[in-house]
Amino acid sequence: MQLFNEARLGKAIDIEQCLPIVEEISTSVARNSSALIGLARLKTKDEYTYMHSVSVCALMVALAQQLGLDNEQIREAGIAGLLHDVGKIVIPGVVLNKPGKLTDDEFSVMRRHPELGHAMLLKSELIPKCALDVCLHHHEKIDGTGYPHSLQGQQISILARMAAICDVYDAITSNRPYKEAWDPASSLAHMSKWTGHFDKELFNTFVKTVGIYPLGSLVRLHSGYLGVVIGKNPTHLSRPIVRVFFSVKSKTTIVEQVVDLAQSSTTDRIVSREDPAKWGFKNLENLWC
């Protein structure tokens, strides 16, 4: 918050302030990739821009690690994720936090944030070129329908293509003034159908990064219980760790139990993704925080 507030006041962003943040985030992701990414979804309206930046940084680091990038590239991915939306701090709050649909004029204002952020970052000579590029181009799309320069395919750098995925995923899985958060698994399903939006290979790797059933997903088990995903098994993406808490048959809560579906002693399995709204569950985060 201090970093962004200084930028809002016209000061050049101090890259030396960014590096310890990125290092802490990278360490956290390496220790438990689900934990920080999940917690960063719990944003209030007032802290959204800051926590969105932390979350995208964590997602970028996790994706870079999954891709097998070297330490320097992982660090650059983290810096780029942390600074990608810095331009939003100068977008008027009435536009940024509007509860309804934006007018054409308001959308035009919002679309300026990549260029505004890029101009802010240019004030510092030490900001990596890759971070400048991601800030300017994280809203470009593979089919050329994005902004601000309508780049397409390989014209978009790999980090900008990664950021496009991480930015959208965090945005749609977070509560915003104009919409409720989508559950993580449904979000991945929706994103997979957006033809021309994302790099397909990077998106497939991203799914491996967050898991087919990401942290917080509501799932139905073959046993007739509902549970919330609280962790993933990297070698068994379809068999995450689940906190079971509800019986479909009796339609009542049960004593909570943690089940690792990848354990050889476990015979249960996931049969479907479930919509929390359908079941009237409003505070599932209490089960996985």
List pLDDT tens digits, range 265-281.
999 999 998 988 889 98
Do 150 and 130 have their domain in common?
A: yes
Question: Residue 228's beta-bridge partner residues?
Answer: 218, 243
**Range with the lowest mean pLDDT among 17-21, 133-137, 244-248, 279-283?**
279-283
Residues 110 and 226 in one domain: no
Rounded percentage of the chain residues whose pLDDT exceeds 70: 100
- In this structure, the answer to whether residues 77 and 136 fall within a common structural domain is yes
* Same domain assignment for residues 28 and 151: yes
Computed over every residue of the chain, the mean pLDDT equals 91
Which of the listed residues 144, 175, 210 is the one where a domain comes to its end? Answer: 210
Name residue 259's beta-bridge partners. Answer: 242
Amino acid at 288: W
- Could you read off the pLDDT of 33-62 as tens digits, one per residue? 777 777 777 777 778 888 999 999 999 999
Report DSSP letters for 174-196, one per residue. S-BTTBPPPPHHHHHHHHHT-TT
Question: Residues of the chain with pLDDT > 90: what percent?
Answer: 65
136 plus 188 within the same structural domain: yes
| pLDDT (mean) for 80-104 | 92
50 vs 64 pLDDT, higher one: 64
| Domain total in the chain | 2
**Domain ends where: 210, 236, 256?**
210
> Is the domain of 168 the same as that of 247?
no
In our burial notation (b when 16+ CB lie closer than 10 A, e otherwise), range 176-197 reads beeeebbbbbbbbeebeeeeeb
pLDDT exceeds 90 at position 216: no
Per-residue pLDDT band at 192 (split at 50, 70, 90): very high
Provide mean pLDDT across the span 105-130.
Answer: 95
Please indicate, yes or no, whether residues 46 and 124 belong to a single structural domain of this protein.
Answer: yes
Range of the domain at 242: 218-288
Span of 120-124, 178-182, 260-264 with lowest mean pLDDT: 178-182
Tell the residue number behind the tokens 């925080």, with chain if given: 289
Structure confidence at residue 252 (pLDDT): 95
Alpha helices in the chain (DSSP H): 2-8, 15-31, 33-39, 48-66, 71-83, 93-96, 104-110, 113-121, 129-137, 158-172, 184-192, 200-210, 276-279, 285-288
pLDDT over 80 (residue 249): yes
pLDDT in tens, 6-32: 888 888 898 888 999 999 999 988 888
pLDDT at 32: 81
**Residue where one domain finishes, among candidates 210, 229, 262:** 210
Average pLDDT rounded to a whole number, residues 176-205 = 90
274: left (phi over 0), alpha (psi -120 to 50) or beta: beta
The confidence score (pLDDT) of residue 43 equals 78
Co-location of 60 and 198 in the same domain: yes
Per-residue pLDDT tens digits for 150-189: 999 999 999 999 999 999 999 999 888 778 888 888 899 8
Position 176 scores a pLDDT of: 82
Write down the pLDDT at residue 3. Answer: 86
pLDDT in tens, 68-80: 999 999 999 999 9
Q: What is the CATH number of the domain that holds 75?
A: 1.10.3210.10
Tell me, yes or no, whether 63 and 177 share the same domain.
yes
Place of tokens 């470009």: 140
Token output for 232: 């993933």
Q: Following DSSP, what letter does each residue of 89-140 receive, concatenated? A: GGS-HHHHT-SSPPPHHHHHHHTTHHHHHHHHHTT-TTS-HHHHHHHHHTT-
| pLDDT at residue 58, rounded to an integer | 94
**CB-CB neighbours of 123 under 10 Å:** 12
DSSP string, 100-114: SPPPHHHHHHHTTHH
164 and 224 housed in the same domain: no
Q: Are residues 77 and 205 in the same domain?
A: yes
Give the distance, in angstroms, between the CA of residue 281 and the centroid of all CA atoms in the same chain. 22
For residues 155, 162, 43, 71, the Cα torsion angle rounded to the nearest 10 degrees is -130
Residues 155 and 181 in one domain: yes
